[in-house]
Amino acid sequence: MVAREDVIELAKRRGFFFGANGAYGGVAGFYTYGPNGAAVKDNLESAWRDRFTVRQGNMEIEAPTIMPEAVFEASGHLDGFDDMLVECPECGESHRADHLVEDDTDIEEAESIPIPEVEELIREHDLRCPACEAPLSDEPVEEFNLMFETSIGPGTGQTGYMRPETAQGIFVEFPRLKEYARNRLPFGVTQIGPAYRNEISPRKGIIRVREFTQAELETFIDPEADEPPLHEVADVEVRLYPATEQAADDGEAYTTTVGEAVEEGVVGSAWVGYYLGVAQEWYERIGVDTDRFRFRQHLPGELAHYAADCWDAESQVGAAGTAAGSSDGGEPRDEGDWIEITGFAYRSDYDLSKHAEGSGESFTVFKQYDEPETVERATVDPDMATLGPEFGGDAGAVADALRTLAERDPDAFDAGEVEVEVDGETHAVDAEVANFSVEEVTENGEHVTPHVVEPSFGVDRIVYTVIDHAYRTDEVDGEERTYLALDPEMAATDAAVFPLVSNDERLLDLADDVTADLRAAGLSVEYDDSGSIGRRYRRQDEVGTPFCVTVDRDGIEGDGPHTVTVRERDSARQVRVPVADVGAEIAALLDPEDDRAFEALAASYGEIETGVRTG
């Protein structure tokens, strides 16, 4: 079984990721990506950008990570971005109450349970502090806002917050972004960057941290007119775990197609279904194990304040489908943890409407009609000479409220007196003073507040998933080895070059030349002349390098062209390739658009008999 500890130990030892600020004791929830991890993360972000920005024809922006308080008042984060906190009465340690329930009971999604019920579960199961074992049964569970507060400017300055999601940076810039889109819907805007959440109890490596990277796409649509190109992904198979299955005693995830799920109403939004299909193919591209992957629908109590419907892409980590030591069969492993790696939400017009209300700016798009339309419009022309003396400073607000009421409920003016509410106070206005009328007007279009469909990807969790799902062990030459079967597109290094021995200048010079040629071809190359050749292979296997190139004496002797051996990571098979061809051959093997496979390379050049790989 691939335990979480094995993955984290490998990640630390081989420079994927490790706790930050170790020289000063470290701070929970902050991690540094080492050379290999930073490269994998960069590759993953590039693959995401290729699929969700370039191929979708979307725009990409980079917004500030600190935003003023008013942004988060409007978005609802100040009031609704909370987790459940319980504090130990003995040691003072703070814990996520819902996590304690999930860890020590059969309940999987305690986040959706109301606080009073969580308190009851803590009492019922006599849950204790993980740090000191003190009972928590009598302790209150409280809401804790996850945003990091800061001050903008000197002194007390202006209150600001470090963004808890990259999305708000897109929403607040909508008035300008719509101009770049030439005021035409639908259009999409992407952003990749850091976000910050003051997690109560960070844990499980980079799975739950306080600083993390998001890759988000906000697609702005006209809900009355715009439909997604669902046909492109209708036949894509997805594994769904709907809310109905989660509520059933014997419920479980099942496989269907995107088209069937949308047609049957399991996925309520065709746009959300479309992005589930696009994402499914992308996950397969980057090496997520589809046997350990599903889309889970949010339960009613889990839905974010902005979401009409939401699905999570979840991966299973900490275990795999077969026993360690076998990459293609074996005994079933224990189940691991299911973690959210992406959220797919239909956010309706919540965000743009809230920011329009909070800022006073226009967050609409003008939709031009094909032909001018003559329509009836209810209007009012309040007599301000009467409203002024009667309502004083509230007269303008009362007039605005009358205009809004005329648009929303014209029948309200049929009575002799009309009531409107201003700042919580009800005001009565004589209908004649309102000067209500219905007029015919010719309109060339209308202002539409777009709805938003959002796939939001947690980059760090996907990096962890890719590493966990690629973790393998087997035997080569009778020795156990650990390797990462990373998709070449994700691997930190494309190839490694080894001179077989380090005391032969001819081998060293040729190895330098080969390294330079491969780098000139655009490949990421590691040069290593330290230790035995077997040890060097193992080092590269552990970081997932797809190919190793060895320069040996057999390749430089004789009258023919110089050759090198090319070793494939997963099978440990080797072929001998002319130096002049090695760059082009490896580039072809790495190119996802090229059908060239190692089998073809072996057929072309002949395979070298080497040690035996088992398992």
For the stretch 282-323, pLDDT in tens is 999 999 999 999 999 998 877 766 666 799 999 999 864 443
The reply to whether 607 falls in a domain is yes
290 shares its domain with 217:
yes
The reply to whether 111 falls in a domain is yes
516 shares its domain with 400:
no
Beta bridge partners of 195: 212
- Given this model, what pLDDT does residue 336 score? 80
The reply to whether 193 falls in a domain is yes
Q: How many domains does the chain have?
A: 4
- Rounded Cα distance between 339 and 320, Å, is 14
Q: To the nearest whole percent, how much of the chain has pLDDT over 70?
A: 95
- Given this model, what pLDDT does residue 612 score? 55
Q: Which residue type occupies 91?
A: C
Which is higher by pLDDT, 220 or 249?
220
Report residue 63 as tokens.
């917004």
How do strand 293-297 and strand 237-241 relate by DSSP bridges? parallel
587 shares its domain with 610:
yes
410 shares its domain with 399:
yes
- Rounded Cα distance between 390 and 385, Å, is 9
Which is higher by pLDDT, 337 or 376?
337
Lowest mean pLDDT, pick from 7-21, 109-123, 324-338 = 324-338
| Cα separation of the two ends of the chain | 14
- Rounded Cα distance between 557 and 426, Å, is 98
* For residue 21, pLDDT beyond 90: yes
The reply to whether 465 falls in a domain is no
Kind plus residue range of the DSSP H or E element containing 156 = none
- The closest alpha carbon to 380, from 412, 339, 428, belongs to 412
Q: What is the average per-residue pLDDT within 403-413?
A: 85
- Given this model, what pLDDT does residue 25 score? 93
Domain closes at, from 410, 433, 458: 458
Alpha helices in 410-551 (DSSP H): 431-434, 459-470, 505-520, 533-543
Domain closes at, from 422, 447, 472: 447
The reply to whether 556 falls in a domain is yes
Whether the CB-CB separation of 186 and 226 falls below 8 Å is answered with: yes
* For residue 43, pLDDT beyond 70: yes
- The closest alpha carbon to 540, from 509, 566, 577, 505, belongs to 566
- Rounded Cα distance between 2 and 324, Å, is 7
* For residue 604, pLDDT beyond 60: yes
Which is higher by pLDDT, 586 or 302?
586
Whether the CB-CB separation of 175 and 361 falls below 8 Å is answered with: yes
Kind plus residue range of the DSSP H or E element containing 438 = strand 436-448
346 shares its domain with 226:
yes
87 shares its domain with 107:
yes
Strands (E), 138-297: 142-145, 148-152, 158-162, 187-196, 211-221, 237-241, 254-257, 293-297
- Output the average pLDDT for the chain: 90
- Given this model, what pLDDT does residue 306 score? 63
- The closest alpha carbon to 460, from 540, 318, 340, belongs to 340
- The closest alpha carbon to 80, from 323, 327, 350, belongs to 350
* For residue 85, pLDDT beyond 60: yes
Strands (E), 246-308: 254-257, 293-297
35 shares its domain with 96:
no
Going by pLDDT thresholds of 50, 70 and 90, the confidence category of residue 325 is very low
Residues whose CB falls within 8 Å of the CB of residue 265, separated by 6 or more in sequence, listed in order? none
Residues whose CB falls within 8 Å of the CB of residue 7, separated by 6 or more in sequence, listed in order? 205, 317, 318, 464, 467, 468, 471
Going by pLDDT thresholds of 50, 70 and 90, the confidence category of residue 223 is very high
- How is the chain split among helix, strand and coil, in percent rounded to 5? 35, 30, 35
Which is higher by pLDDT, 417 or 173?
173
Q: What is the average per-residue pLDDT within 377-383?
A: 86
432 shares its domain with 537:
no
* For residue 472, pLDDT beyond 80: yes
Domain span holding position 38: 4-81+146-352+454-458
- The closest alpha carbon to 318, from 336, 332, 302, 330, belongs to 336
197 shares its domain with 270:
yes
Q: What is the average per-residue pLDDT within 396-417?
A: 86
- Given this model, what pLDDT does residue 324 score? 40
- Rounded Cα distance between 559 and 176, Å, is 67
441 shares its domain with 310:
no
Q: What is the average per-residue pLDDT within 498-527?
A: 94
Which is higher by pLDDT, 34 or 145?
34
Going by pLDDT thresholds of 50, 70 and 90, the confidence category of residue 537 is very high
Within 10 A of 62 (CB to CB), how many other CB atoms are there?
Answer: 10
* For residue 505, pLDDT beyond 90: yes
What is the model's pTM? 0.85
* For residue 334, pLDDT beyond 80: no
Q: What is the average per-residue pLDDT within 469-475?
A: 95
Domain closes at, from 119, 145, 171: 145
Q: Which residue type occupies 467?
A: I
218-220-223-228 Cα dihedral, nearest 10 degrees: -70
Secondary structure of 511-562 as H, E, C letters: HHHHHHHHHHCCCCEEECCCCCHHHHHHHHHHHCCCEEEEECHHHCCCCCCC
- The closest alpha carbon to 46, from 319, 331, 282, belongs to 282
Q: What is the average per-residue pLDDT within 241-259?
A: 95
Q: Which long-range contacts (CB under 8 A, 24 or more apart) does 278-284 make?
A: 278/51, 278/52, 278/232, 278/233, 278/455, 279/313, 279/342, 279/344, 279/455, 280/233, 280/236, 280/237, 280/238, 281/233, 281/236, 282/47, 282/48, 282/51, 282/52, 283/313
**DSSP code of 194?**
E
133 shares its domain with 191:
no
Q: Rounded to 5 degrees, what are φ and ψ at 466? A: -60, -45
Q: What is the average per-residue pLDDT within 98-108?
A: 87
The reply to whether 179 falls in a domain is yes
CATH of the domain at 152: 3.30.930.10
- Given this model, what pLDDT does residue 326 score? 39
* For residue 333, pLDDT beyond 80: no
Going by pLDDT thresholds of 50, 70 and 90, the confidence category of residue 611 is low
340 shares its domain with 235:
yes
Side-chain half-sphere CA neighbours of 263 within 13 A: 9
Sheet holding 148-152, edge to edge: 66-68, 158-162, 148-152
Q: Taking the CA atoms of 176, 180, 182 and 187 in sequence, report the sign of the dihedral they define.
A: negative
* For residue 208, pLDDT beyond 80: yes
Kind plus residue range of the DSSP H or E element containing 40 = helix 35-49
The reply to whether 393 falls in a domain is yes
Going by pLDDT thresholds of 50, 70 and 90, the confidence category of residue 328 is very low
Q: Which long-range contacts (CB under 8 A, 24 or more apart) does 142-145 make?
A: 142/84, 142/85, 142/86, 142/115, 143/82, 143/83, 143/84, 143/85, 143/115, 144/82, 144/83, 144/84, 144/85, 144/94, 144/200, 145/78, 145/81, 145/82, 145/198
Whether the CB-CB separation of 510 and 551 falls below 8 Å is answered with: yes
- Given this model, what pLDDT does residue 327 score? 41
CATH of the domain at 511: 3.40.50.800
What are the tens digits of pLDDT across the range 427-445? 889 888 888 888 877 777 7
- Rounded Cα distance between 463 and 43, Å, is 10
- Given this model, what pLDDT does residue 160 score? 95
Going by pLDDT thresholds of 50, 70 and 90, the confidence category of residue 104 is confident
* Integer angstrom CA distances of residue 8 from 83, 327, 333, 359: 26, 20, 19, 45
CATH of the domain at 115: 3.30.40.230
Question: Computed over its alpha carbons, how large is the radius of gyration of the chain?
Answer: 30
The reply to whether 326 falls in a domain is yes
